[in-house]
Amino acid sequence: MLRLSTPSIDESVIEAVNAVLRSGQLVYGAQGQRFEAMLQDFLGVRHAIVVSSGTAALHLALVALGIGPGDAVLIPNFTFPATGNVVRLVGAHPVLVDVDPSTYCVTPDSVAAAIDAWRGPQPLRAFIPVHEFGHPADMRALLPLARYHGLKIVEDAACAIGATEHGKACGTHGDIGCWSLHPRKTLTTGEGGIISTDDDALAAKLRLLRNHGMVRQPQGIRFDEPGYNLRLTDIQSAMGLVQLPHLPHWIDQRRSLAAHYRQALAPMVSAGLMALPANHPGHSWQTFMVVLRADIDRATLICDLAEEGVETNLGAQCLSMQPAFEDIQPLPATVHASSLYRHGLALPFCESYGPQQVALVTNLLNRLLLAPKTQKTT
């Protein structure tokens, strides 16, 4: 089976993990501190804080900013549900925003339209733009719009480590940036997340919340406020330390793979069978998702590809179409988010794949998309 994605775990990563296991220092410690320092240099930020997951990063960001009951938060309607889950978990109200049909990110126009249409009792307090699949959201335009309306900005860069916009790392434009280290991400520690900020007070708050509200001092441990246990282990940090120096090369390989896909799929685009994702010089290409023609039965296509040994899947979710968010309808209507959810298809994609895998996938797609059974019956 050609997997949707395969993490790059070599012997050097395994040896680094073994060394931590032999040391007996398993929880957050020296490895975590070294990983944070390396991430600060890589991202160009004052503070990088490692946590147990990308969801934990988003959750802690909202808590540290004081977002909670009685507040409203702007989020994309096309994203992984964690973006919306954390808003509801802190007691705030998600306001769903439409996305661009080719970048899959919110736009200044869609955000402005959502702000203008919002009539809820909760004041808009924060905005979570998502750099979907590694494509940079237009922060140069979104940042002043959010600031004009007094919104705190938490960038969801879960898929976008290594992505840049105008030479600046995605996730470092707003008040707080959040990344995921899940195995589907280019840099992975199995599970894990990163929070970044240039605000010293926010960083101190985030570190406190991450670790039970605990402060260590010569006379013993003091607990300053109720906190969480959301630390990343040193086992996981050791994985990240070994992988991070390879990340720029891996992203270059992913950009090359995306170019191969774009060239190989061009005839199917010309035939009207699909649309391709937008390109961007700073794209980090965590996922390559095409959008199928509306009359193509995606579920059948996914099963047929699997029978031929190729794993595919949908891309992200339209939140307003999920049971967890069905009570929240976007205003104005988010046409593109629902269409991307219904017709998006994520193709096998990672730095270890090349032209041979692209040829396998595209040849199968070309054959199967012309087969009658992939066309929806009316």
Name which of 21-25, 154-158, 210-214, 370-374 the model is least confident about.
370-374
Mean pLDDT of 352-375: 88
Quickly state the pLDDT bin for 330 (edges 50, 70, 90): confident
What average pLDDT does the chain have?
A: 96
For the chain, the domains span: 11-246, 247-371
Tokens of 212: 């039970």
Quickly state the pLDDT bin for 370 (edges 50, 70, 90): confident
Strand 176-180 and strand 193-197: the pairing is: antiparallel
Residue-wise pLDDT for 247-295, tens only, equals 999 999 999 999 999 999 999 999 999 999 999 999 999 999 999 999 9
Quickly state the pLDDT bin for 206 (edges 50, 70, 90): very high
For residue 368, pLDDT over 70 is answered with yes
Active-site residue, from 168, 185, 373, 376: 185
Closest alpha carbon to 104 in 124, 86, 80: 80
User: Please, which residues bridge with residue 211 across strands?
Assistant: 229
For residue 378, pLDDT over 50 is answered with no
Mean pLDDT of 24-46: 97
Q: Please spell the DSSP secondary structure of 198-218, one letter per residue.
A: S-HHHHHHHHHHHBTTEEEET
Quickly state the pLDDT bin for 210 (edges 50, 70, 90): very high
Residue 299 identity: A
Q: What's residue 376's pLDDT? A: 53
Mean pLDDT of 169-197: 98
d(CA 195, CA 179): 7
φ, ψ for residue 302, nearest 5 deg = -60, -45
d(CA 376, CA 378): 6
Q: Pick 11-246's CATH classification: 3.40.50.20, 1.10.10.10, 3.40.50.1970, 3.40.640.10.
A: 3.40.640.10
For residue 4, pLDDT over 90 is answered with yes
Q: What's residue 116's pLDDT? A: 96
Going across the sheet that includes 344-347, the strands are 274-275, 288-292, 344-347
Q: What's residue 331's pLDDT? A: 78
**Exposed e or buried b for every residue in 79-104, given b needs 16+ CB within 10 A?**
bbebbbbbbeebebbbbbbbbbbebb
* Percent of the chain residues topping a pLDDT of 90: 95
Which residue carries 């007070």 as its tokens?
201
Tell me the CATH number for domain 247-371.
3.90.1150.10
Alpha helix locations (H) across the chain?
A: 11-23, 30-43, 54-64, 82-89, 108-117, 139-148, 200-210, 234-243, 247-270, 298-307, 335-343, 355-369
Tokens of 201: 């007070």
Quickly state the pLDDT bin for 371 (edges 50, 70, 90): low
Closest alpha carbon to 228 in 30, 45, 34, 61: 61
For residue 377, pLDDT over 50 is answered with no
pTM of model > 0.85: yes
Mean pLDDT of 104-110: 98
Q: What's residue 373's pLDDT? A: 55
> Around Cβ 329, how many Cβ atoms within 10 Å?
11
Q: What's residue 334's pLDDT? A: 86
Residue-wise pLDDT for 62-83, tens only, equals 999 999 999 999 999 999 999 9
d(CA 156, CA 170): 9
- Which distant-in-sequence residues (6+ apart) come within 8 Å of 45 by Cβ? 169, 172, 177, 196, 197, 198
Which residue carries 């929240």 as its tokens?
328
Closest alpha carbon to 284 in 261, 311, 250, 315: 250
d(CA 213, CA 235): 23
Tokens of 195: 């929070």
For residue 374, pLDDT over 70 is answered with no
For residue 185, indicate whether it is catalytic: yes
